Chain A
Amino acid sequence: MGAKNAEDLPEEVESWIGKERYQEQTEFPIEMGYVYTTCAAVENGNPLFWDGDTAEELAGGPIAPPTMLSAWFRPHFWAPGRTKVAQPLQVHFDLKEKLDLPEAVMTDNTIVFGEPVRPGDVLTTCQVLHSVSALKETKLGTGRFWEIEVRYTNQNGDVVGTEWYTGYGYRRNG
């Protein structure tokens, strides 16, 4: 974190650096259905998520796996009245568009966990762009690395987590 910024960035992209953007709430209260689906996807048998008595004893009731944080903020693929696909981590997609880099992958992810996330919680998030690199060649193509912080709080104002992503937006060579 804290990489040096490129000197050839569009003014609009420079204006995003260090700013809290896209503050939004979860589209639905936290629910256990996705918890079970997530645990099933990785065959996570932790009784903290499957056994009510264990959850009550250890965490005072059911909680979600900490690493699910970002899942709660991915928008529905479709919703009534929505005219285009809503994107999670919108700053990442803004960068792709403004820097004319049609492809992108994530390379690094850091998550620091705070208060547990519980069913019924309504979470709030915002995104902060921290850096955008100069153009770099990789095996995928030519592009730029960028660092984005995502902050998560619950309805009580408790920090439930903070996440940092390094993305690489690129144009394929040839």
Chain B
Amino acid sequence: MTAQTTSLTAAEVDEGARLPELSYDVTATTVVLGAMASRDWRPMHHDYDFAVNRNGTKNIFLNTPNQAAWFERYLTDWSGPKGRLGRIQFRMKDSVFPGDTMVFGGVVKKVADDESGCSWADLEIELKVGDKVVTGCTARMALPKDESDNPWSRKGQDWKP
């Protein structure tokens, strides 16, 4: 899956629809690049010896804000640029290490308008390594109601994530 230049409208999204999968081979560079980009200098995200001998993990591992960035990328690859994240929640049950192949998958649980007329898609996303779900995620994303609508123009009382 790659980024869309056009945007899905809420009318084009069905409850129960699955998002295309995204697969990515994680290397040490993936982990370090993500940590540095999010200004996370903690050694368990770049120092193998620290991660193994101090933290007790098997290698350096993806940091929390970088996982958030991966979820955001996955969601906006699907929605296109008008898709606007309102809320994201994730639980990291295990870590993602160099050598892992991350596979993102997801499903649309609900599509509905709020009282201000904003169209929302509620989604469940899984980040899997092999058969194991390492991070479970729920997200609430504003989608344009039609081609003339733009969730990014909402503010104040018209933005209720």
Contact = CB atoms under 8 A, between A and B. Distances in A.
A39 to B, nearest CB: 8
A89 to B, nearest CB: 10
Contacts of A108: 89-92
B147 to A, nearest CB: 13
Interface in B48-90: 54-56, 64-73, 76-77, 81-82, 84-90
B65 A68 contact: yes
Contacts of A58: 81-82, 150, 152
B86 A54 contact: no
Contacts of A71: 37-40, 65
Contacts of A110: 87-90
Interface in A34-61: 34, 37-48, 54, 58-60
A11 B156 CA distance: 40
Interface residues of A, number: 45
A70 B65 contact: yes
A47 B91 contact: no
B81 A112 contact: no
A155 interface: no
Interface in A70-105: 70-71, 74, 77, 85, 88, 103, 105
A140 B2 CA distance: 36
A126 B68 CA distance: 20
B99 to A, nearest CB: 18
B133 to A, nearest CB: 14
A128 B40 CA distance: 21
Given A47-B5, A47-B81, A111 B37 contact: no
Nearest to B139: A111
B85 A66 contact: yes
B38 A68 contact: yes
Contact of B33 (A40, A54, A88, A172): A40
Contacts of B55: 103, 105
Nearest to B150: A58
B126 to A, nearest CB: 15
Contacts of A172: 56
A77 B56 contact: no
A65 B41 contact: no
